[in-house]
Amino acid sequence: MKNPKIPGIIILSRRKQVRFWIDYIIISTIRKKPDFSSKKFKPPGYLSDLILLDSRYIIDYNHFKKGVGMKGIVLAGGLGTRLSPLTKITNKHLLPVYDKPMIYYPIETLVNAGIKEIMIVTGGNNAGDFLKLLGNGSEFGLKHLNFTYQAREGGIAEAVGLCEYFAENDKVVIILGDNIIEKNIKKAVADFRKQKEGAGIFLKKVKNPREYGVAEIKGGKVLRIVEKPKRPKSDLAVIGVYMYDNRVFEIVKTLKPSGRGELEITDVNNAYIEKGLMSYAMLRGGWADAGESIEAYNDTINFVRKHGAKKLK
């Protein structure tokens, strides 16, 4: 059989694997096929991985375009200068927190929430050590782990933008590699799977809101988020776990560097808020930012030793 002139689609016999579920393939019951030659039909790059079984079986492109899954991203870049001198010879996310490397906790948080496809964003001079430690992810029950590299300290939002190809058209749950939570985010992630569009954040009451991004809530809606406000409108800190639909990557492309030369995740969240597409969940249990300072790092170790982390209930 000759390969039809359809952009990005190849014959099954030319490949040994099918990466996507059979649900994405609409059998010959569809009578009207899309006009692949039309200028309006613009398949994304990843469509080259989809399969055309034969001339009768076609991809339901419109269905796939909506995104059907959810993937996880752990941000573990940066130089970790706040934890110096501990980070002079290694990445802070590889430091031990009680009985495990710090990076284990966010990965297990995602896995416990039912996420099986995960990208690790690393940076600095010790990026190769992540691969040595984590391997293919089998220790976490994963079949594969993905890695990418952030060449400079360009901010959380810049790191998110590096994952566009990995995310494809799926939703993403992003967790900062130094954020450790006592319980789990399983219910909130399940709710976000059902959310038609938009974003979701996690909030936690704190004693020192001036040190965090703070959310102003009214009538069950997030009105705005202010980064390290001098006069906080609430005591609700936005923790380092974020949920986004695929439009997050378009938003990142519109951002301009802040005064410290970084693309800020708060600007991403406020872009969703302005469109009325931001939901939130109150985080249950304890939460720690282990990379905030040496004191916070030691407090996190003591907390995990006493209370544990990543509890399933």
Contact predicate 267/257, CB 8 Å: no
Q: Round to whole Å and give the CA distance between 83 and 195.
A: 38
Q: Is 1 part of a structural domain of the chain?
A: no
pLDDT of residue 124: 85
Which residues does 68 contact at the CB level (< 8 Å), separation at least 6? 24, 169, 170
Same-domain pairing of 238 and 217: yes
Q: Is 4 part of a structural domain of the chain?
A: no
pLDDT of residue 42: 47
Which residues does 190 contact at the CB level (< 8 Å), separation at least 6? 113, 114
Q: Round to whole Å and give the CA distance between 152 and 105.
A: 24
Q: Round to whole Å and give the CA distance between 17 and 96.
A: 39
Per the listing, tokens 């569809």 go with 30
In terms of Cα–Cα distance, which of 92, 277, 77 is closest to 171? 277
Count of CB atoms situated within 10 Å of the CB of 88: 10
Last residue of a domain, one of 23, 38, 65: 65
> Which helix (H) or strand (E) covers residue 161, if one does?
helix 156-161
Q: Is 147 part of a structural domain of the chain?
A: yes
Same-domain pairing of 31 and 131: no
Q: Is 2 part of a structural domain of the chain?
A: no
Q: Is 219 part of a structural domain of the chain?
A: yes
Same-domain pairing of 158 and 196: yes
Same-domain pairing of 36 and 148: no
Q: Is 220 part of a structural domain of the chain?
A: yes
How many domains does the structure of the chain reveal? 2
Per-residue pLDDT of the chain (313 residues; tens, 9 = 90+): 444 444 444 333 344 344 443 444 443 344 444 444 444 544 444 444 444 443 333 343 434 444 458 999 999 998 889 999 999 999 999 999 999 999 999 999 999 999 999 999 999 888 999 999 999 999 999 999 999 999 988 999 999 999 999 999 899 999 999 999 999 999 999 999 999 999 999 999 999 999 999 999 999 999 999 999 999 999 999 999 999 999 999 999 999 999 889 999 999 999 999 999 999 999 999 999 999 999 999 999 999 999 888 777 6
Same-domain pairing of 184 and 294: yes
Q: Give the amino acid at 110.
A: L
Contact predicate 72/117, CB 8 Å: yes
pLDDT of residue 80: 87
Domain that holds residue 30: 10-65
Supply the CATH number for residue 132's domain: 3.90.550.10
Q: Round to whole Å and give the CA distance between 159 and 60.
A: 31
Q: Round to whole Å and give the CA distance between 149 and 77.
A: 8
Same-domain pairing of 178 and 38: no
Q: Are strands 287-289 and 179-181 parallel, antiparallel or unpaired?
A: antiparallel
Same-domain pairing of 288 and 142: yes
CB half-sphere exposure, 85, CA atoms < 13 A: 0
Same-domain pairing of 122 and 265: yes
Same-domain pairing of 95 and 212: yes
Same-domain pairing of 137 and 47: no
pLDDT of residue 69: 86
Q: Is 25 part of a structural domain of the chain?
A: yes
Same-domain pairing of 226 and 97: yes
Q: Is 294 part of a structural domain of the chain?
A: yes
Same-domain pairing of 166 and 184: yes
Alpha helix stretches (DSSP H) within the chain? 61-65, 104-112, 127-134, 156-161, 164-167, 186-194, 248-254, 265-274, 294-307
